[in-house]
Amino acid sequence: MAKKKSKTTLKKKEEEFKYRGYTMAKLKKMKLEELANFLCAKQRRKLKRTLRPEEEKLLEAVSSGQDDIKTHLRDAIVLPSMIGKNIGIHNGKSFEYVEIKPEMIGHYLGEFALTRKKVSHGAAGVGATKSSKYVPLK
């Protein structure tokens, strides 16, 4: 007789995301000064010096629940209050919309909107090189 597996063993446990041992709920309740202690040195110093008015305006827009958030602040740090939001980050030409995920905490917004595209060159034209003179035309 084959044994039947129970439903509890078939279900995978969804692990809640933790950042440096803290759950998302605890991170969202923390003040910026407390959160700064868990970030890397550069981000920690930036948060301890207080935010610029533009960054405060961005955080205010995020907390108010706006749908369409666009920003030029590529040097803004991803904070727990931004999780789950779609933010348009300017890449120098247009706004690239990025969904903020928990793994992005502590990184800069500019890291997720690349400013350069990959160059894909075409084939050389006729007469571009000496060897291309002898390529038959189609």
* Domains and their CATH numbers in the chain: 17-115 (3.30.860.10)
Q: Reduced to 3 states, what is the DSSP secondary structure of residue 71?
A: strand
Q: What is the mean pLDDT of the chain?
A: 84
pLDDT, residue 12, reads 44
Determine the Cα–Cα distance for residues 88 and 75; give it in Å rounded to an integer.
14
pTM: 0.73
pLDDT, residue 100, reads 93
The residues that bridge with 86 in the sheet, in sequence order, are 99
pLDDT, residue 132, reads 63
Task: Residue 79: name the closest of 27, 33, 20 by CA.
Answer: 27
Task: Residue 61: name the closest of 82, 77, 80 by CA.
Answer: 82
